[in-house]
Amino acid sequence: MPQSTKVYLSIDFRSTNPTGRLASIKLHGVPGRELENEEFSVNEKIRDFCNELIVDKIFRRSHNIGSNFEHLEIWLYDSKSDRQNLEYLIPELDQDDLKIASDISASQLRNIYILDNKVQDDKLDDWEQEVRKLFRPLFAEFVKLPEMPESLANIPLFKRVESVMSKTIPYHGILETLFFDTLIVQID
């Protein structure tokens, strides 16, 4: 089995919808591996997780709301980490960026920051409304199963129910150890 080193990668996704305006999304900060042969790889389950819970949702929603955005870059960021020790660069945030906080307390995704696009004042309200419509639904995708109370955790019936639930909820394992809690978005 080849040795590998953990790295954070960028992945490009292209829309398959010929009538949608949003053409591409680039995700930064996706955990992957550098193999001995100097190639890079992302675990298929991580790629599918990012595609299904973030990318596909945004492409579909963008088409449904008639979004005018053409390209997005999204950084996956753990706000509890030390920015100085990150193994990939993330944009600096400032007071001009739009912060969308989660309105779902159980969501593992806590915040989405939209970098300031220097939108003119007369178009700012429409832009903010479009951004919120596009990104706010993502918070619901990152709700994990509540933990079983200790008093029930050792009862065989409840162990079995928990086992079945964790197998039927897609990406349960990834949500348990989610590697980010914030999205930083650049709209081009």
Q: Which residue has the higher pLDDT, 141 or 83?
A: 141
Q: What is the pLDDT of residues 113-163, one digit of tens each?
A: 999 878 777 788 889 999 999 999 999 999 876 666 777 667 777 677 666
Q: Is the pLDDT of residue 4 over 70?
A: no
Work out the average pLDDT over 163-168: 65
Q: How large a percentage of the chain has pLDDT more than 90?
A: 52
What does the pLDDT read at residue 38? 79
> End-to-end distance of the chain based on CA atoms, in angstroms?
41
**Type of residue numbered 73:** E
**Beta carbons of 26 and 10 less than 8 angstroms apart:** yes
Q: Would you list the DSSP string of 56-121?
A: HHHHHHHHHHT----EEEEEEE-TTS-GGG-SS--PPP-TTSEEEE-S-TTBS--EEEE------H
- pLDDT at residue 169 in the model: 64
In terms of residues, how long is the chain?
A: 188
pLDDT of residue 1: 45
Of the CA atoms within 13 Å of residue 94, those in its CB half-sphere come to 6
pLDDT value at position 3?
Answer: 57
Spatial contact of 27 and 10, defined as CB atoms under 8 Å apart: yes
pLDDT, average across residues 9-30: 93
CA distances 155 to 16, 111, 149, 164, 183, Å, are 47, 37, 11, 14, 38
pTM of the model: 0.85
- The pLDDT confidence band at residue 76, using thresholds 50, 70 and 90, is very high
Supply the range of the domain harboring residue 14. Answer: 4-187
Return the pLDDT at 69: 93
- 175 pLDDT higher than 80: no
pLDDT digits (tens, 9 = 90+) for 40-73: 889 899 999 999 999 999 999 999 999 989 999 9
8 A C-beta contact, residue 14 and residue 24: yes
Domains in the chain, number = 1
Average pLDDT over residues 83-109: 90
